[in-house]
Amino acid sequence: MKVLVVNDNKKDRLHISKIVLTHGFDVSEAGNGYEALEKVETEPPDIIISDIMMPEMDGFMLIRKIKGKEKTKDIPFIFYTKSFVCDEDRKLGFSLGAARFIVKPLKPEGLLCEIDLVLNEHKTGKLKSAGPEITDTEYLQKYSAQLSLKLESRVRMLEQEIEKRKKIEAELRNSEKKLILAKDEALRASSVKSDFLMKMSHELRTPLNSVLGFSQILKMKQHGELNEKQEKHVDNIFYSATRLLGMINDMLDLVKVESGEGLHLSIRSFQAPEAIDEALIFISDRAEQKKIVVQKEIDPGLGIIEADTLRFKQILINLIDNAIKFSKPDGGTVNITAGKNGNMVQFSISDTGIGIKEKEMSKLFDPFYQADSGINRRYGGAGAGLAVTKKLVEQHGGRIWVESIYSKGSTFSFTLPLKQKNRSILK
């Protein structure tokens, strides 16, 4: 018997796999829904055990896709999760075709017993292959409603925790001992904040990815043509969700940096000009909407560099997106240049936008710093993107700086080593 274990937490995934292996099953693993779908297509398992909250594609979307295909609809599916769960989660899971909805913790023998029961029900024909039909709209409505309830609950918990810590701090101000205790409480509060941001971002990314997926389906017109107004609405949904997902990812990266965890880099050798072209694809639609002409000047001699490809694109997209965001209402130009400078390569992103006041430039890369509250309300942003970009550049061994003339435009430049020292290169 083949069991597919799907969980984005490596530790949890290995724990479940170890339990299943002791029962004589063959085990394969996937870190998210997309990986699971690939494995199901190439080597269909006899049963799937999946978490719910996962990045890129969550467990609900995974079972929806599996049960929607004739080839895979009969594969038994078990939800095994420790996420914040309510009765509506269970109802949604069963309506999509889940055989079991198990909330951790459950002893190993209990999990194995449930697996055996499900496989026996499947073998004897007692297990239905899929739940009743549920439309995309119903799915999004149910999931959005559940997410709102979870957010409200978590916010209330955080507010209660903050009030509790405020009272403790007030009681600890009059002595050295109280100051030490207050410091400890502040550290704990910071930990609570980081933990809250991590968990909330994790839970928000799942429905956002669903929104992105459904809007892409609508943009592809698989279910019928859209009129001009509908196309505009779908484009706005897709762009807004993409922006929000980017902000959430930046917040997660910033939390990791502030906690001292750092950002993991997977250093590879790749063609820098090709990576620049791939990054430009992500911003081309928005540039067109804002009447921005994007130009590039790449040194013909610039070829292979060593860096984390995804993080390199993240740096470029953050800077180019900022250049477009702070363009003037009548459009403008964004120019990307790249060329060798000794054993380094320098990249620059110049715009003809609103520029930056000189007094604000020194704090521009500080976490959550926003130069002007009025401008921020107009243009949006959480103040995390540039701080994360600076950390990524520095972690690669480079540096980043800005030059700007207020009301004329800005140039953000950064350097990266052509070759990374004392780092193993992934092939």
In tens digits, what is the pLDDT along the chain, a chain of 427 residues?
899 999 999 999 999 999 999 989 999 999 999 999 999 999 999 999 999 888 778 888 899 889 888 899 999 999 998 765 678 788 888 888 899 999 888 889 999 999 999 999 999 988 875 555 667 677 667 766 666 666 666 667 767 877 887 777 777 666 666 566 656 665 565 555 556 555 665 666 667 777 767 777 777 776 778 888 887 777 777 767 766 766 676 666 666 666 666 677 889 999 999 999 998 988 888 888 888 999 999 999 999 999 999 889 989 998 998 899 888 888 899 999 999 989 999 999 999 999 988 888 888 887 655 555 445 445 445 457 788 889 899 989 999 999 999 989 999 999 999 998 766 555 5
Helix (H, G, I), strand (E, B) or coil at 276: helix
CB 308 within 8 A of CB 416: no
Contacts of 62 (CB under 8 A, 6+ apart): 6, 33, 36, 37, 50
Q: CA 89: distance to chain centroid? A: 22
Contacts of 187 (CB under 8 A, 6+ apart): none
Q: What is the pTM of this model?
A: 0.48
Could you check whether the bond before residue 45 is cis, i.e. omega within 30 degrees of 0? no
- Domains of the chain are 2-123 (3.40.50.2300), 136-258 (no CATH), 267-417 (3.30.565.10)
Residues 336/348/360/255 CA torsion (nearest 10 deg): 90
pLDDT by residue (tens digit) across 118-146? 999 999 988 875 555 667 677 667 766 66
Kindly tell me the burial class for residue 31, based on how many C-beta atoms sit within 10 Å of its own C-beta (0-12, 13-18, 19 or more): middle
